[in-house]
Structure 1
Amino acid sequence: MKPERKENGVNEKILMGGADLPLVWTAENLRAVGLSGETVTKADILASPAQYHSTRYLFSTWGMPRFEEREIRDCLPSLRAVFYAAGSVQSFAAPFLDAGVAVFSARAANAVPVAEYTVAQILLANKGYFRACRSLHTGTDWNTARALSNRYAGNYGATVGIIGCGMIGRMVAERLRDYHLRVLAYDAFLTAEELHALGAEKVTLEELFAASDVVSNHLANVPATVGMLNGGLFASMKQGATFLNTGRGATVREDELLAVLTARPDLCALLDVVDPEPPAPTSPLLTLPNVFLTPHISGSQQTECARMGAYMAEEFRAFDEGRETHFAVTREMLSTMA
């Protein structure tokens, strides 16, 4: 399709993305940035680069293609900024940044439903909800299932461990302030004072796993974190503890986690992310009674997606008007962010 045009004929803005684009860039969000909803593809740009030499702004979401730096400089020489209405920019951002193009991400908007989902799971886990529910559905009688739930202490005074206090981890910690919980945190970049301001106590990874009733993982998937969560840590967990992963599956040594879960049926794993996704049909993740697997649903879905477009519409207006922006991505950030 043809790119958006201003009245003077300049191709100022273009819109790119995949099948979820209408959920993100709703009619309201499109109006806010002056777009009609017509989209272009990478093939369009490479086929007719002269049409895009005056493009200043690129709006996108999931399905954003990767361009090489040379392609950006040759085909989009006037591009000032990319407004990505979704979370992770790892798949495409570096060449744009290297070409001098600003990149903005709606990671804060996508973090909201993940944080909400995480807090809900934590509260339910501390009530023994998951084990009691599965117990009833597999034929256990009512009183036995209730007794299973009563092995869990509940939420008053329980200990929750947060691994990684980036955008999502911070939101989880802030939301947990509404409950009478002890919050521990492991983060390689934040000081004890910074974590204290979030209502959390800075501890080592080993201390966190050994002391927490629920361990919630929010590590980014970067080379330094791949396989960081190992069998020794899982084996050290408290009796009846729960491991919750809405971060990235690659940060977990899955074979070691499965070995511990098999040996310790008292533990529970709530896994919204695994590596690879989906797991193999023969994976024990699909059959172990103490594993509760969901198909990566914690992030924005359906109506929640519009929030990401709204964040980027406001960010565009601020950038275009020379006001302060809030969600820029830098080259340095790519080494630590999801």
Structure 2
Amino acid sequence: MNRAAIVLAMQPSRTEHVLPEAVLRRLDGIGRLLDAEPLQHFDDERARRLLSEAEILITGWGAPYVGREVLTLAPKLKLVVHAAGTVKGIVDACIFDAGIAVSHAAEANAVPVAEFTLAAIIFAGKHVFRFRDLYVADRHRDRTHPMQHEAIGNYRRAVGIIGASRIGRRVIELLKPFDFQVLLFDPTVDAEQARALGTEKVELDDLMRRSDIVSVHAPSLPSTRHMIDASKLALMKDGATLINTARGALIDEDALLAVLKTGRIDAVIDVTDPEIPGPESAFYDLSNVFLTPHIAGAVGLERSRLGEMAADEAERFIKGEPMLYGLTLEGLENTA
């Protein structure tokens, strides 16, 4: 029986740990891995030779754009699996239109984002960063000890989740063992579905007003750009925390920085718009901002989940089984 020809396309410097030796061996067992060295371009002789045989194309961060050119170069192509999150900007609509199956490993990338968010929620509830800064600055406990008597901590805190996305749902699941009240805003989820998730469905204004911690997990779409604006931020409680591990464009950052500069709220920010703030940005300097460089998603060894999930999908496809994470063009429009 002929084994499906598999070709890799991604930038090795950006995808270390995605395809460790064990995953490469597995791919060569379930199919025929034509070359363990990923393509970085589709316009050279090696790319043309490999793509002419390719039936399955496994892409990752830094992959060349999979568009109309690939349809010509890869006439046998049946499946594109993206060993990363979103395929927006990687896979053209013409690939879907040509009847080529498309899948992705966004579910694997969701795991570390949800774990990061859980940690951020717990730390935010206990005002860990403020305790840390004062303790380090003072080198005694004169200011931190009285803070322990304030209304802080995580017992019965209200956590607002914006977006019942795959990450939002994972965060909700991770919160279940704790004594949180979980509020959910998502216009695609009704009250009964929200209850089944263990949450209370609320409107966005209500969520912003009632939550001690607000965590953003909505997709970045034209309709969601700056959905958290000055009016929404004004509703937040004094001392509340805003967490964003989704996309920077969801928040009006000028408005966010304005309220952060007052010290009224705190923020845990892993994503910004632009992706790297200018060196003059106050995000770097404000003591009530915990800023990280887009690390909530898969980094280091966590990236191995991406390759393993891509291999799982390729194996299901080869066996004629339904893929778990297949995408349609219509479904793509509503993802991050």
1:152, distance to aligned residue in structure 2 (A): 4.0
Q: Which residue in 2 is equivalent to 1:29?
A: 23
Structure 1 residue 14 corresponds to structure 2 residue 12 = no
Q: 1:139, 1:282 → 2: CA distance? A: 27
Residues 248-259 of structure 1 mapped to structure 2, 5 A cutoff: 248-259=247-258
Distance 1:24 1:312, change over 3 A: same
Q: Which residue in 1 is equivalent to 2:295?
A: 297
Distance 1:300 1:319, change over 3 A: same
Residue aligned with 2:182, SS: strand
Q: Which residue in 2 is equivalent to 1:97?
A: 96
- Asked if the contact 1:132–1:149 (Cα under 8 Å) also holds between the matched residues in 2, the reply is no
Residues 186-335 of structure 1 mapped to structure 2, 5 A cutoff: 186-263=185-262, 265-335=263-333
Residue aligned with 2:323, SS: coil
Q: 1:111, 1:46 → 2: CA distance? A: 36
Q: 2:250, 2:271 → 1: CA distance? A: 10
- Asked if the contact 2:4–2:318 (Cα under 8 Å) also holds between the matched residues in 1, the reply is no
The aligned amino acid for 2:5 is E
Q: 2:16, 2:280 → 1: CA distance? A: 36
Residue aligned with 1:270, SS: strand
1:326, distance to aligned residue in structure 2 (A): 0.5
Q: Which residue in 2 is equivalent to 1:80?
A: 78
- Asked if the contact 1:228–1:253 (Cα under 8 Å) also holds between the matched residues in 2, the reply is yes
Q: Which residue in 2 is equivalent to 1:3?
A: none
The aligned amino acid for 2:14 is D
Residue aligned with 1:30, SS: helix
1:126-180 C-alpha deviation (Å, 9 max, x unpaired) = 1111111122233374131233354343111110000011100000001100101
Q: 2:6, 2:175 → 1: CA distance? A: 41
- Asked if the contact 1:128–1:150 (Cα under 8 Å) also holds between the matched residues in 2, the reply is no
Q: 2:177, 2:96 → 1: CA distance? A: 39
Residue aligned with 1:138, SS: helix
Q: 1:11, 1:184 → 2: CA distance? A: 47
- Runs of 4+ deviating beyond 6 Å: none
Which is worse superposed, 59-68 or 294-303? 59-68
Residue aligned with 1:178, SS: coil
The aligned amino acid for 2:324 is H
Stretches of structure 2 that go unaligned for 5 or more consecutive residues are none
Q: 1:312, 1:211 → 2: CA distance? A: 40
Q: 2:315, 2:233 → 1: CA distance? A: 46
- Asked if the contact 1:129–1:149 (Cα under 8 Å) also holds between the matched residues in 2, the reply is no
The aligned amino acid for 1:165 is A
> Percent identical across equivalent pairs?
38
Residue aligned with 2:277, SS: coil
1:312, distance to aligned residue in structure 2 (A): 1.1
Q: Which residue in 1 is equivalent to 2:170?
A: 171
Distance 1:192 1:93, change over 3 A: farther
- Asked if the contact 2:16–2:300 (Cα under 8 Å) also holds between the matched residues in 1, the reply is no
The aligned amino acid for 2:15 is L
* TM-score, normalised relative to structure 2: 0.92
Stretches of structure 1 that go unaligned for 5 or more consecutive residues are 1-6
Structure 1 residue 58 corresponds to structure 2 residue 52 = no
* TM-score, normalised relative to structure 1: 0.92
Aligned length: 329
Distance 1:149 1:255, change over 3 A: farther
